Structure 1
Amino acid sequence: MALVTILHRFADYDTFRNVYDSADGLRQAGGVTDHSVHRMADDPNNVLVLHSFDSIDAARAYMNNPKLKDAMQQAGIQGEPRIEFFE
């Protein structure tokens, strides 16, 4: 099992959340087995996303998917996300 943590900032949480919720098919096709979204208590546009996968290889493939990067842009990402992989 693998876990990916993605910490990123968005211009507007509601816009991010609409795009995130509409990307369920992308997550399923990418092998995401479980996921959750958390907002920073003092900065609601700072978002932590947790995605679980069956393997690190599946996690890396998903995170390198150009469609995911497009979705992040559409959601209004600011700067570069901090992405960590755990086994």
Structure 2
Amino acid sequence: MTTLFVRHAVSDYEAWRKVYDTFSAIQKANGVTAEAVYQATDNPNDVTVTHEFATQEAAQAFTRLEELRKAMQSGGVVGTPTVWFTQKV
């Protein structure tokens, strides 16, 4: 199992969350088996998202989706996200 971590700033968490929640069907259709959203305790607009996948290839393919790029843009993601992958051992 591979977990994709994405940390980014958003301009308005509530607006971002609405877009994120509508993206659920696309997540599932592209291999996301579980997901979670975290906020920094001192800044609600500092968001970290995790998505689990069966393989690293599926996780990497997800990060290249044009739909994902558009959703992040319309959700108000600010700057370049920090992205990393982990394997459960």
TM tier, smaller: over 0.9
- Structure 2 distance, partners of 1:86, 1:68, is 20
- Structure 1 distance, partners of 2:45, 2:30, is 25
Which one-letter code corresponds to 1:69 in the other structure?
A: R
Which one-letter code corresponds to 1:50 in the other structure?
A: T
Task: Give the alignment's TM-score, normalised by structure 2.
Answer: 0.96
Q: Which residue of 2 aligns with 1:78?
A: 78
Q: Could you say what the CA RMSD is over the residues aligned between the two structures, in angstroms? A: 0.5
Question: Percent identity at matched positions?
Answer: 36
How many residue pairs are counted as aligned between the two chains?
Answer: 87
**Runs of 5+ consecutive residues of structure 1 not aligned to the other structure:** none
Q: Which residue of 1 aligns with 2:16?
A: 16
**Runs of 5+ consecutive residues of structure 2 not aligned to the other structure:** none
Give the alignment of 1:39-78 within 5 angstroms.
39-78=39-78
- Structure 2 distance, partners of 1:80, 1:30, is 22
- Structure 1 distance, partners of 2:13, 2:36, is 14
